[in-house]
Amino acid sequence: MDGVSKSVLVIGATGYIGRYIALASAAAGFSTSALLRANSGAAPNPRRDKAIESLHAAGISIKNGSLDDRESLMLALEDVDIVISAVGIPQILEQLNLVEAMKEKKTVKRFVPSEFGQDVDKVVCLKPAQEVLSDPKIRVRRAIEAAGIPFTYVITNAFAKFHFNMREENGRLSPPERFVIYGDGNIKASFVTEEDIGAFTVKAAADPRALNKTLHMRPPANALSQNETVAILERETKRQLRKEVVSQVEMLESIRGHVFLAFESVILSLMYSAYIRGDTFGFELGPNDVVAHELYPDASFTDAHGYLSKFV
């Protein structure tokens, strides 16, 4: 796709990570549109309304439709080169409708499905996260490959907001006063800022080197243990944090105790994978994997200091 004007459709553009991707696409100079479900009759959603305002301000066009409306999908795919999905957990399997639409359309040059976490083909999570999150993502991957749709899978590991236990109030983030440490706190995990996830996802989606590959965002400077993260937070904020230590046994008991609360059990299972088992770096990369900081050595990732400096 080098040297060709690109048209990007973002699905889930008002969601947590989707808005960063949509704004990054527009900032990169791509003709960007967002597929949004009509909100008629729904309860007021100020956060969604604000996200839509930011999309409009960035010059992003809105296409009305949804993943369960085939006609709207076919219309939304008109003249689109790249489709990037950032839908949430409840909609992961609805992407199968999108795969079928792209298979019929035959014009999409790259599809980035909603991943932005661990590599589901390499990491087996505890049951809640595996069943609710990983298995559906695997099913979508296999459908993409069977349909012959060009793809890039994007692996980001932890979002900065969650790695640093950031507080959120009225839509504003601030450093935490309390930090939860899982296990001994010495297992290294990798984080990426949400802005960098948007920027590098868009880069890879238009990059022939990432065609039919899995892109891993794991910048060396951002590989930190929780103990290292706490030390950085205390240095940057110049104050001591209240620390709460949760043992491996306590985590497993808590995961079992949240069995009927799917979201909570999924999050705890992911934390267990990253901070107890060390699954971020617990596998070897293969010929179908590419690493973002190696593909783009001149485009640096934001490190811990750069991220926290915005809030202190």
**Could you state, in order of their start, the residue ranges of all structural domains in the chain?**
7-158+193-218+284-296, 161-187+223-277
Count the Cβ atoms, other than its own, within 10 Å of residue 44.
7
Structure tokens at 90: 């409840």
pLDDT in the model for residue 171: 78
- Phi and psi for 252 in degrees, rounded to 5? -60, -40
pLDDT in the model for residue 301: 98
Pairing outcome for strands 167-169 and 172-174: antiparallel
pLDDT in the model for residue 274: 96
Pairing outcome for strands 223-225 and 188-192: antiparallel
CB under 8 Å to 307, separation ≥6 — which residues? 160, 164, 193
pLDDT in the model for residue 312: 84
pLDDT in the model for residue 255: 86
Of the options 3.90.25.10, 3.90.280.10, 3.40.640.10, 3.40.50.720, the CATH number for the domain spanning 161-187+223-277:
3.90.25.10
Query: Are 7-158+193-218+284-296 and 161-187+223-277 the same fold in CATH?
Result: no
pLDDT in the model for residue 258: 64
Is 137 an annotated catalytic residue? Answer: yes
CB under 8 Å to 248, separation ≥6 — which residues? 182, 183, 272, 276
Between the two ends of the chain, the Cα-to-Cα distance in Å is 41
CB of 111 closer than 8 Å to CB of 149: yes
CB of 144 closer than 8 Å to CB of 93: no
Model confidence, pTM = 0.94
Residues of the chain with pLDDT under 50: none
| Residue positions counted in the chain | 312
pLDDT in the model for residue 38: 78
Count the Cβ atoms, other than its own, within 10 Å of residue 187.
19
Question: Buried b / exposed e across 211-245, counting CB within 10 Å, b at 16+?
Answer: eebbbbbbbeebebbbbebbebbeebbeeebeeee
pLDDT in the model for residue 164: 96
Of the options 3.40.1710.10, 3.40.50.720, 1.10.10.10, 3.30.1540.20, the CATH number for the domain spanning 7-158+193-218+284-296:
3.40.50.720
**Candidate list 6, 63, 137, 213, residue with the active-site label:** 137
161-209 pLDDT tens trace: 999 999 998 778 999 999 999 999 999 999 999 999 999 999 999 999 9
